[in-house]
A and B are shown apart, each in its own frame.
Chain A
Amino acid sequence: MGDLLSGFADALTPGNLLWAFVGVTIGTAVGVLPGIGPALTVALLLPVTFRLEPAAALIMFAGIYYGGMYGGSTTSILLNTPGESASVATALEGNKMARAGRGAAALATAALGSFVAGTIGTIALSAAAPLVADIAVNFGPPEYVALMAVAFVTVSALLGPSLLKGAAGLVIGATIGLVGIDTQTGQTRLSFGLPSLFDGIDVVIVVVALFALGETFAHLIAGTGASRVEPLRGQPMLSREDFRRSWPAWLRGTALGFPIGSLPAGGADVPTFLSYSIEKRLSKRPEQFGRGAIEGVAGPEAANNAAAAGVLVPLLTIGLPTSATAAVILTAFQSYGLQPGPQLFSESGDLVWALIASLYIGNVLLLVLNLPLAKVWVRLLGIPAYGIYAGVLVFACLGAFAAGGTIADLIVLTVLGLLGLLMREAGVPVAPAVVGLILAPLAEQQLRRALALSEGDWSTLVSSPLTVALWILVVLALVAPPLLSWRRRRVSQTLEETSTTH
């Protein structure tokens, strides 16, 4: 508790508050643009924070992160174009509400729900992270290998339309992660003698290429552009009735989001859909679902934000990113001189607590800023697609240049952008590729370390009860998804029925 207070003392200087304010503003402004999800928002805006001192950079970054998340919900509700799969559930009811002229209420319940969930999630993070770090200190390489295996399997199984396509995304990312000098032997892998590839390919470049260039290229060949923005009537406020229906959904969403998000498996998608189906089942007016039920916005939106705080638990304490956004955050932390892992809390405690305090502050600023400014964000949605994507391209090139600093990085960006287009067209999800890119080199390193310690004895991988349990989880995660997807198909079938019956 004392640590957290001193974190607040570090974060709450007037200068830092200004950076937080700037971060939330530009994070929301970029996150609101259609097709730009939180991972891409954070990756695109990362260069802005590069030249700040670490504490200021962290607090601005926290602002960008929360701003990007909220901007994404605004787009989902008013435009029905979720920027990432975790806001799909919000779009389901939110866009229906907007079409029925209740967009303002949908935005308000999303903002308040994000605030409630974000606050509870951050409190839970402050409590859970030091505990998990204490446990994780005792983890050896075998435990890390098993944890990463769980993350690989769940990420490819959960984040895609099918296990095969999810695995394709993961393996493509992992292969990109191979590029560069092998740290153990100093040999170059997949660099083809090109010096600019010796240091590997920067994560920011891969994220920007796969998400931003992929999206831009897709628009280019599809020739799409005109999208329908639902106009916003009235101030974003909740009526007494709306509030009464929203708050239990916020709390239920939070209760689902944080624990599931903090598992080393899967990130924020699962809790949002779980929350959606639970709200639908518990609702006294199930017939409203599919026509704009406010609970269907409040619950998933809270689950999404609580999960976003939960994802930080494995990220900070174990160094394990389980979503594309978390992968970008990991690179950001590394560029600020923070190395996530069990030692983080003991080695750079000041900065971590400043970061956690920043998350609280960002959350409050978001609420203060967004409800009054909702109409300004809506106007951003009116920017024509050609303007948005040409601008995205300019910022993507800027981000790649800032991350790498050479012309070769821009060429790599273009080539990976084409790969992103092909993956997108093929229905292969991009998020597992980003997770694979980060995790695969770490997994290789830990596996080689484990085998070096055991002198080549593979049984070291199952030498503790925890590792055995984790490997059983891996097998379960491979077997369970076919069953789950059968269930989910049932859910989406019923959804389709409800949406066509009126």
Chain B
Amino acid sequence: MTDIEEGRPLPETPEVAHREARAAGALGVLMVVAAVVVLVDAARLRDSDEALGPAAAPTLLGVLLGLIGGALAFQSRHFLRTPERPHRRLWRLAALVAGLVAFALLLPIMGYVVSSAGLFTGAALLLGAPHPARVAAYGWTLAVIVFLVFDVLIGLSLPTGPWGF
């Protein structure tokens, strides 16, 4: 059964509901922090002679971020206190984020094909792909096809490494 309103699975177990509440609380806290950043940034802006200066929208949004974030955090305050069992695969997330950053940094040096093949292989393995060699072959194939279609055929110039692809 899916939730008719959201299309996401209903929180069947208390554990899932708990997790969602914790995430909502964390998002709320993040929004309050963002509110402070937005308000500080808005205060820095020079006012203009307009009726409504450049700081008006950020100030309004900063206040809204703070209020809504505060409400989200308040709603899930009970869940934020209880510590989470650290069995969720957050290390995988960290590894993939590191992979994405590495992709961004290596792209101009190694070229599109090598970096993308690496990104595909790394991501697929983190997502639980069973055969590393086969996945690497898929990654190379995909990267080469994308390069041929987008760079050679369509003319969207993609970065090339010292070897020209």
The verdict on B2 contacting chain A, using a C-beta distance below 8 Å, is yes
B156–A50 touching, CB < 8 Å: yes
Given A410-B104, A492-B3, are A171 and B120 neighbors across the interface (CB < 8 Å)?
A: no
- Stretch of A10-18, A341-349, A443-451 lying at the B interface: A443-451
A427–B24 touching, CB < 8 Å: yes
Given A175-B34, A387-B129, A393-B120, are A221 and B90 neighbors across the interface (CB < 8 Å)?
A: yes
B89–A220 touching, CB < 8 Å: yes
The verdict on A3 contacting chain B, using a C-beta distance below 8 Å, is no
The verdict on A466 contacting chain B, using a C-beta distance below 8 Å, is no
Task: From the candidates B97, B107, B150, name the one contacting A418 in the complex (CB within 8 A).
Answer: B97
Given A48-B154, A426-B23, are A387 and B89 neighbors across the interface (CB < 8 Å)?
A: no
Contact with A along B126-151 (1 / 0, CB 8 A): 11110000010011001100100010
Q: In the docked arrangement, what's the CA distance between A398 and B104, Å? A: 11
Q: In the docked arrangement, what's the CA distance between A305 and B30, Å? A: 37
B54–A426 touching, CB < 8 Å: no
Q: In the docked arrangement, what's the CA distance between A391 and B93, Å? A: 17
Contact with B along A118-144 (1 / 0, CB 8 A): 000000000000000000000000000
B51 to chain A, nearest CB (A): 4
Q: Which of A400-433 contact B (CB under 8 A)?
A: 401-402, 407, 410-411, 413-414, 417-418, 421-423, 425-429
A414–B127 touching, CB < 8 Å: no
B156–A51 touching, CB < 8 Å: yes
Which chain A residue has the least Cβ–Cβ distance from B65?
Answer: A171
Q: In the docked arrangement, what's the CA distance between A428 and B25, Å? A: 11
B116: A residues at CB distance < 8 A: 394, 397-398
Name the interface size band of chain B: 35 or more
B68–A190 touching, CB < 8 Å: no
The verdict on A189 contacting chain B, using a C-beta distance below 8 Å, is yes
Task: From the candidates B27, B58, B150, B154, name the one contacting A422 in the complex (CB within 8 A).
Answer: B27
A402–B156 touching, CB < 8 Å: yes
Q: In the docked arrangement, what's the CA distance between A225 and B101, Å? A: 24
Task: From the candidates B6, B58, B135, name the one contacting A178 in the complex (CB within 8 A).
Answer: B58
B6–A273 touching, CB < 8 Å: no
Q: In the docked arrangement, what's the CA distance between A496 and B10, Å? A: 11
B50–A448 touching, CB < 8 Å: yes
B138 to chain A, nearest CB (A): 7
The verdict on A333 contacting chain B, using a C-beta distance below 8 Å, is no
Q: In the docked arrangement, what's the CA distance between A47 and B41, Å? A: 34
The verdict on B92 contacting chain A, using a C-beta distance below 8 Å, is yes
A352 to chain B, nearest CB (A): 25
A165: B residues at CB distance < 8 A: 24, 72
A391–B57 touching, CB < 8 Å: no
The verdict on B82 contacting chain A, using a C-beta distance below 8 Å, is no
A426: B residues at CB distance < 8 A: 20, 23-24, 26-27, 72
A480 to chain B, nearest CB (A): 15
A219: B residues at CB distance < 8 A: 127
In this complex, how many residues of chain A approach chain B with their Cβ under 8 Å: the count is: 83
Task: From the candidates B5, B20, B50, name the one contacting A184 in the complex (CB within 8 A).
Answer: B50
B20–A189 touching, CB < 8 Å: no
A178–B61 touching, CB < 8 Å: yes
A171–B64 touching, CB < 8 Å: yes
A185: B residues at CB distance < 8 A: 45-46, 48, 50, 53-54
The verdict on A217 contacting chain B, using a C-beta distance below 8 Å, is yes
The verdict on A223 contacting chain B, using a C-beta distance below 8 Å, is yes
A161–B5 touching, CB < 8 Å: yes
The verdict on A53 contacting chain B, using a C-beta distance below 8 Å, is no
Q: In the docked arrangement, what's the CA distance between A488 and B3, Å? A: 11
The verdict on B81 contacting chain A, using a C-beta distance below 8 Å, is no
Q: In the docked arrangement, what's the CA distance between A485 and B6, Å? A: 12
- Stretch of A79-87, A318-326, A358-366 lying at the B interface: A79-87
A397–B5 touching, CB < 8 Å: no
23 contacts between A and B (CB under 8 A): A80-B2, A160-B6, A168-B31, A184-B54, A185-B46, A185-B54, A187-B45, A190-B41, A190-B58, A221-B88, A221-B90, A221-B93, A385-B127, A386-B123, A402-B150, A411-B101, A417-B100, A427-B20, A428-B27, A451-B50, A451-B51, A452-B50, A492-B4
- Of all A-B residue pairs in the complex, the 3 with the closest CB atoms, nearest first, are A456-B51, A425-B23, A410-B104
| Interface residues, chain B, with chain A CB atoms under 8 Å away | 1-8, 19-20, 23-24, 26-27, 30-31, 34, 37-38, 41-42, 45-46, 48, 50-54, 56-58, 61, 64-65, 68-69, 71-72, 75, 88-90, 92-93, 96-97, 100-101, 103-105, 107-108, 116, 119-121, 123-129, 135, 138-139, 142-143, 146, 150, 154-156, 158
Given contacts A51-B156, A217-B96, 8 further A-B contacts (CB under 8 A): A50-B156, A171-B31, A187-B54, A390-B123, A394-B119, A426-B20, A426-B27, A428-B27
| Interface residues, chain A, with chain B CB atoms under 8 Å away | 47-48, 50-51, 80, 82, 84-85, 87-89, 91-92, 160-161, 164-165, 167-168, 171-172, 174-175, 178, 182, 184-185, 187, 189-190, 216-217, 219-221, 223, 225, 273, 384-387, 389-391, 393-395, 397-398, 401-402, 407, 410-411, 413-414, 417-418, 421-423, 425-429, 440, 444, 447-448, 451-452, 454-456, 485, 488, 491-492, 495-496, 499
